Amino acid sequence: MSDAYTLLRGGRVCDPTGIADGGGLRDLYLKDGRIAAPPPEDARIGDVIDLDGRIVMAGAIDIHSHIGGGKVNLARLLLPEEHREHGSSPDGLRRSGSGLFTPSSFLTGYRYAEMGYTAAFEPAMLPSNARHTHLELADIPIIDKGCYAVLGNDDFLLERLAAGATQSEVNDYVAWILHATQAVGVKVVNPGGISAFKFNQRRLDLDEAHPHYGITPRRILTTLATSLSDLGVPHPLHIHCNNLGIPGNEAVTRDTIAALDGLPAHLTHLQFHSYGTEGDRRFSSAAAEIAEAVNRSPNISVDVGQIIFGQTITASADIMSQFRNSGLASPRKWVCTDIECDGGCGLVPFRYRDKAFVNALQWAIGLELFLLIDDPWRVYLTTDHPNGGPFTSYPHLIRLLMDRSFRNEQLARINPDVAAHSRLGSIGREYTLDEIAIMTRAGPARVLGLRDRGHLRPGAVADVVVYDDLPDREAMFAAPAWVFKNGRPVARNGTLTATGWGDTIVVRPEFDPAIERRLKPWFEDHQTVRLGNFRIADGEIHDHGRGGLSIVPTLTASDLCF
């Protein structure tokens, strides 16, 4: 604790949840890692930084970025060429590392912090890989992080659903998984499909019965979405829909929204699920139809998964889709793994080419979704790092959203058929700074239940980013003038100045521990890890001096739900 305040004087504070100040200049006070109310006259002010009218926002939050865990690490091992080309030396402050779209752990933290991001969420932690994932995340400096546990293809759940388990039993299991794996949410990936692939089925639609269990993806989806709602977990079910990447999949995406029937849910990397089958190539944009469905459904939030042209690798638990796409691997090598009666892992390196019609249209579809979904509180900025491109391309993406003439210049450079097949060129919308602050801060914080992040009201964690108000929004967002994490300056003009450790963010809903009586024999009879060894103790995370645990409160009846 310190008795001195840090004063950030005279900034243009862009906080959509804060005090409306008519765009005037404001002072911000930081104390003990938090935003403080203006102190009394006689308070001791330590550091004073004159912001000279610069833009001030809360630290940005990446709601969906594959930053660590087994499949990310296999991706690094698969592509030594990437790491040979993109290496960095130690410099006394920074550890060395390598990688552009699968950066090593230390670089991941440094690069996020240098861009003004102070939290990122690993969206695909298989419960069987949870300990490995947390070990990796413990080596990502500066930023806060959290994980979504992947459910919906795990044999325990499928077997219990097929046997007629009650919703309350499923709720206990979901809550137990959140505790045991130290997660902050639940993601479902191709519900039922990953398991069906293990039975040699190559595709599974929303109402198609699973080949062994006889239950449908619809049943898995709605049961899990209900669980999270019943348990009061702030982040609703995080859904990777069925049939990723398949032309015509917009139907299953719209059916998924309809199936949820008002239940809160988050649809992730929506771009990959918004494809139609019109035109000569039987591949078209269904962004308008999908955006319309999202606009009509206030229970739904989404992130886009924008593609960025260039080399990357697609990394997914959706082994069914990844095996189907393995022929597209560039370079020609790929990985598919069936994992522990729990899930899967598929890695397919890929180069998005701006002159290729399909890739160029994917690019346009992502931007159409951003621009046609009306409510910035329900659409978040992602590239599904690294699947659509690296998170370091966010400043470029922000410029595409904020600057119509820049966007149309880019559109004119890509495969010319896209302009003819897309309405992108006719969309006039330009995101405002307030809307960017919502979609990269306040919105993700709200949908994750992070009450003290994503805003700059007194009491918030003092994660603060100061930008020069440059007309080139890419340059502006790539190199913030200052970044503060927990009230400490960590980057200046886009370059790291200090390092440290953030928290692991988890959620802990109440449940009936009697579920362990059913789980213990399951682990002994059907798994290869015992229940007591599967569970991750708090000490495994906070005993290494690399950040603590931060527990998100569950929702109560009085909380504003989505």
Partner 1 sequence: MRGDWDMDYGFGGSDLPPPMSDVVCPFCAMTCDDLAIARDGTGQLRVSANGCARARTLFALPALPAHCFIKGRAVPLDEALDAAAALLGDAASPAIGGLAADTEGVSTALALAERLGAVVDHAASDSLFHGLRAFQVTGAMTATFGEIRNRADLFVLFGTEFERHAPRLFDRIVRPPTALFRDGGAARGFLIGPGDGPTPDGFERLTADLAHAPAIAAALSQLLAGETPRGDRVGGMAIEDLARVAAALRKARFGVVGWIAASLDPAAGDVAVEAFNHLVVTANASTRCAGLPLGGKGNALGANYVCAWQYGVPLRSRLGAGPPEHDPLRYRLKSLLAGGEVDALVWLSALNGAELPDTRTPMVVLARPGQPLPRDPEVLIPVAVPGLDHSGSIHRGDGVAALPLRRLRTTAATLPSAATVLSALLGRLPAPPLATPLRETAHV
First to last CA, the chain: 36
Among 66, 111, 131, 396, binds partner 1 (CB under 8 A): 131
231 lies in the binding site for partner 1 (CB under 8 A): no
114 binds partner 1 (CB under 8 A): no
* Helix residue ranges, H only, 115-215: 130-137, 155-162, 167-180, 193-198
214: alpha, beta or left? (left if phi > 0; alpha if psi -120 to 50): left
Question: Which one of the spans 126-134, 355-363, 390-398, 431-439 is the region binding partner 1 (CB under 8 A)?
Answer: 126-134
Record the tokens describing residue 486, joined without a space. Answer: 């927990």
Site for partner 1 in 184-213 (CB under 8 A): 197-200, 212
Per-position b or e across 326-338, b if 16+ CB within 10 A of its CB: beebeeeebbebe
CB of 435 to partner 1, least distance (A): 29
* 3-state class (DSSP) for residue 395: helix
Residue 326 CB-half CA count within 13 A: 14
Which CB sits closer to partner 1, 23 or 513?
Answer: 513
For residue 400, give the amino acid letter: L
Q: How far is CA 383 from CA 188, 192, 560, in A?
A: 18, 25, 29
Nearer to partner 1, 444 or 487 (CB): 487
Q: Which of 19, 27, 96, 168 binds partner 1 (CB under 8 A)?
A: 96
Strand runs (DSSP E) across 152-308, as ranges? 185-189, 237-240, 265-267, 275-276, 284-285, 300-303
Min separation Cβ 324 and partner 1, Å:
11
- Distance CA(187)–CA(316), nearest Å, equals 12
Q: Is 340 left (phi over 0), alpha (psi -120 to 50) or beta?
A: left
C-beta of residue 255 within 8 angstroms of C-beta of residue 206: yes
What's CA 276's distance to the chain center, in Å? 25
Amino acid in the structure at residue 143: I
Write down the least CB distance from residue 525 to partner 1, Å: 5
Between 267 and 319, CB nearer to partner 1: 319
Select 209 or 288, whichever has its Cβ closest to partner 1: 209
Burial state string for 272-285 with b = 16 or more CB within 10 A and e = fewer than 16: bbbbbeeeeeebbb
Binding to partner 1 by CB under 8 A, coded x per residue (else -) over 4-43, reads ----------------------------------------
Single out the residue of 4, 34, 155, 423 in contact with partner 1 (rule: CB under 8 A).
155
- Cβ nearer to partner 1, comparing 105 with 387: 105
Q: Which CB sits closer to partner 1, 331 or 459?
A: 331
Instruction: Provide the minimum distance between the beta carbon of 259 and partner 1 in the complex, in angstroms, as a whole number.
Output: 28
Choosing from 17, 34, 39, 98, the residue that interacts with partner 1 (CB under 8 A) is: 98
Nearer to partner 1, 114 or 250 (CB): 114
Q: How far apart are CA 247 and CA 310, in angstroms?
A: 22
CA 260 to chain centre: 21
Is residue 163 part of the contact set for partner 1 (CB under 8 A)? no
In eight-state DSSP terms, residue 127 is: G
One of 22, 24, 40, 92 touching partner 1 (CB under 8 A): 92
How near is the Cβ of 505 to partner 1 at its closest, in Å? 18
Restricting to residues 42-61, which ones interact with partner 1 according to CB under 8 A? 47-50
Query: How many residues belong to the site for partner 1 (CB under 8 A)?
Result: 89
User: Which one, of 52, 46, 59, lies nearest residue 25 by Cα?
Assistant: 52
- Token pair, residue 317, equals 């638990």
Q: 515 near 166, Cβ under 8 Å?
A: no
CA–CA distance, 271 with 382 (Å, rounded to integer): 10
Contacting residues for 476 by C-beta, under 8 A, at least 6 apart? 55, 395, 467, 468, 469, 470
| Shortest Å, Cβ 59 to partner 1 | 17
Which of 342/463 has CB closer to partner 1?
Answer: 342
Q: How far is the CB of 456 from partner 1 (least distance, A)?
A: 19
| Contact status: 78 vs partner 1 (CB under 8 A) | yes
The least CB distance from residue 235 to partner 1, in Å, is 21
d(CA 465, CA 491): 9
Burial label for 393, CB within 10 Å (0-12, 13-18, 19+), is buried
Footprint of partner 1 on residues 323-352 (CB under 8 A)? Answer: 323, 329, 333-342, 347
Pick the stretch among 92-100, 112-120, 276-284, 351-359 that binds partner 1 (CB under 8 A).
Answer: 92-100
Q: Write down the least CB distance from residue 336 to partner 1, Å.
A: 5
CB of 317 to partner 1, least distance (A): 12
> Considering only residues 14, 28, 60, 107, which one is a binding residue for partner 1 as defined by CB under 8 A?
107
Q: Token pair 């829909």 is at which residue? A: 241
Residue closer to partner 1, measured from CB, 135 or 356: 135
* Per-residue tokens: 509: 């809903």
Residue list 520-559, contact with partner 1 (CB under 8 A): 520, 524-530, 532-533, 535-540, 543-544
- In the region spanning residues 476 to 515, those forming contacts with partner 1, defined by CB under 8 A, are 489, 492, 497-498, 513
To partner 1, the closest distance from the beta carbon of 511 in angstroms equals: 8
Q: What mask, x for binding partner 1 by CB under 8 A, covers residues 237 to 276?
A: ----------------------------------------
